[in-house]
Structure formats: structure tokens, C-alpha cells
Amino acid sequence: MPFRLSFGMSIAELRKLPSTEKLKIIEALWSDLAEDEKVFASPGWHEEALRKAEADFAAGRVEILDWEDAKKELRQRFE
């Protein structure tokens, strides 16, 4: 029997969704997980990645985007 997600969609059906819909699902899942820091602990490598990003920003090596603009840009890449 194929695996079905708790909301009734199988993995095969999920794979058929357009990338924009998949991104919306990922965004909703991430928002839900991020609401309670006790439930979802950041992995050990995350602190190091944040420090590198902060150093890159301080050195002027990265461009900062508004979160809404970043999401739009990501969605456009997958359309």
C-alpha cells in the first residue's frame, strides 16, 4: 500500500504538483514547525552557517532581500 500523507495526499500525488504549490506546502510546514522552538531544534551546523552568513553580510559579500521579495524570486525560479 502506498504511503499517504495525513491530509490524504500520496507522495506520488504530491510529486505531480507544480513547483509553486510544493513551495507553498513547504512554506506552510516550515512556518508551523518554526512556531514552537522546543519542538524543532536547529541542527548543530545551523549556528555555524548563521555565523558565516553574518560575516559575509558584514563584509558586503551578500545582497539582502525583503522576505516577500525573496519568496517571489524563488517562486519565479520554479515556475
Confidence of residue 45 (pLDDT cuts 50, 70, 90): very high
HSE-CB for 11 with a 13 A CA cutoff: 3
pLDDT at residue 65 is higher than 70 = yes
What cell was used for 34? 518554526
Residue 78's identity, in one-letter code, is: F
Average pLDDT over the chain, rounded to whole? 84
Instruction: Please list the residues that pair with 10 across neighbouring strands.
Output: 4
Which one, of 68, 55, 57, lies nearest residue 27 by Cα?
Answer: 68
